[in-house]
Structure 1
Amino acid sequence: MQDAADLHELRLMSARVGRDIRLVQGAGGNSSIKHGDMLWVKASGTWLADAEHKDIFVPVLLKQAQAALARGDERIPLADHGQTALRASIETSLHALLPHPVVLHVHSVNTIAWAVRTDAPEEFARRLDGLAWRHLDYYRPGLPLARAVGAVIAQDTIDVLILGNHGLVVGAPSCGAAEALVHEVEERLALVPRAAPAADEKALHELCRGTDYRLPTDPLCHAIATDRFSRAVATSGSLYPDHVVFLGPGLPMLGQGEDLLAMGARASANGLPPPVAVLVPDKGAVIRTDASPGAEAMLSCLALVTARLPLSAEVAYLTAENEQALLNWDAERYRQQLTARR
C-alpha cells in the first residue's frame, strides 16, 4: 500500500532529523504526513530519533483536528486505529492547517539563534530570499500558534515559517523535500559558533561531592558557563519554550563563595524545587542527578544556541507571562512525564 510506504518514509526521515542535535533535541520537534482526510502525526512526548524503531505516530482525522481548532480544544481525538495511551502532538492543529502533504517542525539551533533576536528581520529577508517564507512573533505552542499561522497562510502560500523564540516549520510535497528544505534554511541561516574556554572539571566534581548534582553527559554544556557572553545570555531569561519546560525559567548561576547545597536550601526556602541545572562561572555546568534525558538535551541545545549569538545581538526573551503559561499547561506536564520515562 502506498499509504504504508509513505508512512515508512516519514519514519526514516524523522529518525534522521531527530538524531541530529543541531535540528532536534529530546522530545522537541514533530512531523506529519497526510493521506486524504487522515493525518499521521508524531505523538506528544515521543522522540523523533526513535521513529524508525518505535510507534511514535498516531492517526488523526483532519476534519476533527480542524473542528477542534475552531472550538478552541487542544485535545484532538485520535482516529479509530487501535488502542494507544499516546496523545497527538501539541502542534497537531498546526500540522492540520498547513496544506502540504508533509510538515516538519524542528528546533534547529541556527534558526533559533536568529529567532531569539530582535535585530534579525533584515537578515531573514536577505538570507531567505527566493523562498516562500514568513517570520512570526512568539506565540505559545498549540492553539495560539496555530491560530497565528492560520491567519498567515490565509493570505499567501507559505513553505517556510520562522517562529519567534521557537524554531522552524516547513511544508513540502514529500519527506525528502521537507528534509532538504530544512537543511537549506539551516545553511542559509548558518552561524559560526564561538570557541569557549575549557571547563574546570576537577573543580566541578568537587562542588558536586555530597550533593544531588553531577556533570552533564555532554561536555559542550560547560561552554554556557565558561563563555562570558553565553553565560550572560543564559542567566538573563528564557529563550524558547522547551528550555522552560525541561530546565525551568532562565538558568541560575552559583554565586561567589556559594555551594550547591546552599543554593538548594535557598530555593527550598522560597518554595521552589532545586534548580535542574546550575552554571558555575568560568568553571562549567552541573545538572541534577535525577535530570531527565530531555533536560540533558535542552542544556546541550542552550550551549549550541548561545554560542551562535554574536556579541552584538539584541536578544528577546520570553516574558514571565509566557513562562507561566508553559509551566501551568497540562499538555507540557504530560510531555515531561513521557520524556522522563524514555
Structure 2
Amino acid sequence: MSVAATAPDALVALSARIGADPLLVQGGGGNTSCKRDGTLWVKASGTWLAQARERDIFVPLPLEAVRAALQHQDGEARLTQLADPRALRPSIETSLHALLPHAVVAHVHAVNTIAWAVRADARARLDALLSDMNWAWVPYRRPGYPLTQAVREALSQRAADVLVLANHGLVVGAADCAGADALLAEVERRLALPQRGAAGADLARLRAVNDLNWERPSDESVDALATDAVALAIAREGALYPDHAVFLGARAAVVEPGDTLSAAVARAGIGDTAPVYALVRGAGVLVAPGLSAGAQAMLHCLALVALRLRGDEVLSYLGDEDVAALAGWEAEAYRRALARSQQARPEHPQPEH
C-alpha cells in the first residue's frame, strides 16, 4: 500500500521537509505523528523522516488502546504488542506522541535546541528566550516510557505546546501540520546560535597515524571536531544526548601528537566496546570501517552542536549509567541493527552538511 493511501498527506509532507533539514533531524533520528479518526499514525523506529515520500515509514495504531497501555507500569511492552509483529516497529517515542493532546506532534533533534539543552544553565537561559511561548522544560530521562513519564509530570504543572528535553531535543504539538511547522520555525528563530568556522583536515597527518586503515567520514566538515579546539574539548568528554551515545558510543579515541591510531583506540576502549571514531588533534577525524550512514549523520550533528558552543559554558553530559542504559536497551539495539541492514541502500540520503 502506498504512503498516500495510508498516512495523511500533510504528515508525509511535513516529515519529508523537516527530515531533509540536518539542523532539525539527522539520519533516523526524530519522529512525527498525527491523530486522526481514532488512529495514531507514528513514524516507525529506525526509519528516516527524509524518506517519507518514498517509503511507507508510518505505523498505524489504535489511539485509545495506546492510551490505555500508558496507564500500566509495563506500558512500553504493551505498546510494542499493539503493532503488527510482521511490520516495522512504532517509534520508541510512541508513548510520548500518544500522551500529548495535540493532533500533530513533531519531535526533532534540533541542533540549536541541543546546544542550549546540554548546558547546566539551560532552563534559566531558555526562560528568557522562550518567555512568551507556551513551553515547558523536561529533565533528562531515557527515551521511551521514562521520558513520557517525565513529560507527564511537566505537563501536570502547566500545559505546553513546546517541550525542550534536557540533553535530547525539541517537541512541538499543534492542531495541524502547518501549526507544528510554524512552531518549529519560531523556536529555531529564537534559539539560533552562530556557527564557527574551522580549519580543514591535515590529510598527510591522518595517513601517518592511521595504522588501522580506518576511513574518512562521509562529510569532511566533521573534521571540525578535531581541528577546532573547543569542539575537540567538548567531543572528547563523553556523550551529550541519546543518539550521540547510541550511534557513537560513550567515548571517542583521541590521537595526540606522537600517537598512532591503534594506541588511541586501545586507550579509549571500555570493556569489550571499542570507539567507532577517532579525533586526531589538529588534523581531522577517522571512522571505523563500515560506520553506518546513521552514525555518520550523528557525527555531523555533534560537530554542528560543538561549533555552536563557545567553550566557557558548563555542560551536562550523560552519566555512565545513562549511556549503559541506552547501549543495553533492546529497542535501541533494534534501531542500530536496522541502520546497519540498510547501509547499502543507495536511496538513503547522505547528510548535506
Give me the TM-score of the superposition, normalised by structure 1: 0.93
| In structure 2, C-alpha distance between the alignment counterparts of 1:257 and 1:150, rounded to whole Å | 52
Which residue does the alignment assign to 1:205? Answer: 207
SS in 2 for 1:33: strand
Q: What's the C-alpha RMSD, in Å, of the aligned pairs?
A: 1.9
Larger mean Cα displacement after TM superposition, 230-239 or 153-162: 153-162
Which residue does the alignment assign to 2:101? Answer: 99
Q: Deviations over 1:89-146 (max 9, x none)?
A: 0000000000000000000000000000012223211211221001111111001110
Which residue does the alignment assign to 1:18? Answer: 19
Which residue does the alignment assign to 2:172? Answer: 170
Larger mean Cα displacement after TM superposition, 69-78 or 273-282: 69-78
Choose which of 132, 149, 152 in structure 1 pairs with 2:151. Answer: 149
Choose which of 111, 133, 136 in structure 2 pairs with 1:109. Answer: 111
Contact (CA 8 Å) 2:135, 2:160: kept in 1 or not? yes
Contact (CA 8 Å) 2:238, 2:251: kept in 1 or not? yes
Which residue does the alignment assign to 1:286? Answer: 286
Which residue does the alignment assign to 1:158? Answer: 160
| In structure 2, C-alpha distance between the alignment counterparts of 1:94 and 1:212, rounded to whole Å | 42
Q: Deviations over 1:229-271 (max 9, x none)?
A: 1111111121000011000013221133221233445567x64
Which residue does the alignment assign to 1:258? Answer: 259
Following superposition, the deviation at residue 300 of structure 1 comes to 0.1
Which residue does the alignment assign to 1:137? Answer: 139
Following superposition, the deviation at residue 63 of structure 1 comes to 2.1
1:1-342, aligned counterparts within 5 Å? 7-71=8-72, 72-75=74-77, 76-77=79-80, 84-208=86-210, 211-265=212-266, 271-342=271-342
The alpha-carbon distance between structure 1 residues 154 and 121, as it changes in their structure 2 partners (threshold 3 A), is closer
Amino acid aligned to 2:57: I
| In structure 1, C-alpha distance between the alignment counterparts of 2:300 and 2:235, rounded to whole Å | 12
SS in 1 for 2:263: helix
Contact (CA 8 Å) 1:15, 1:48: kept in 2 or not? yes
SS in 2 for 1:110: helix
SS in 1 for 2:255: coil
Q: Deviations over 1:254-302 (max 9, x none)?
A: 133221233445567x642432111000101111121011110010000
Contact (CA 8 Å) 2:253, 2:267: kept in 1 or not? no
Following superposition, the deviation at residue 36 of structure 1 comes to 3.2
Contact (CA 8 Å) 2:265, 2:278: kept in 1 or not? no
Amino acid aligned to 1:257: G
Following superposition, the deviation at residue 38 of structure 1 comes to 1.0
Contact (CA 8 Å) 2:251, 2:268: kept in 1 or not? no
Amino acid aligned to 1:111: T
| In structure 1, C-alpha distance between the alignment counterparts of 2:7 and 2:179, rounded to whole Å | 13
| In structure 2, C-alpha distance between the alignment counterparts of 1:20 and 1:297, rounded to whole Å | 12
Q: Deviations over 1:286-319 (max 9, x none)?
A: 1112101111001000000000012221111111
| In structure 1, C-alpha distance between the alignment counterparts of 2:281 and 2:267, rounded to whole Å | 19
| In structure 2, C-alpha distance between the alignment counterparts of 1:78 and 1:15, rounded to whole Å | 28
| In structure 1, C-alpha distance between the alignment counterparts of 2:253 and 2:65, rounded to whole Å | 43
Contact (CA 8 Å) 1:226, 1:283: kept in 2 or not? yes
The alpha-carbon distance between structure 1 residues 326 and 127, as it changes in their structure 2 partners (threshold 3 A), is same
Contact (CA 8 Å) 2:246, 2:327: kept in 1 or not? yes
Taking only the aligned residue pairs, the percentage that are identical comes to: 48
SS in 1 for 2:9: helix
Larger mean Cα displacement after TM superposition, 28-37 or 60-69: 60-69
Following superposition, the deviation at residue 207 of structure 1 comes to 3.1
The alpha-carbon distance between structure 1 residues 42 and 6, as it changes in their structure 2 partners (threshold 3 A), is closer
Give me the TM-score of the superposition, normalised by structure 2: 0.90
SS in 2 for 1:60: strand
Contact (CA 8 Å) 1:45, 1:338: kept in 2 or not? yes
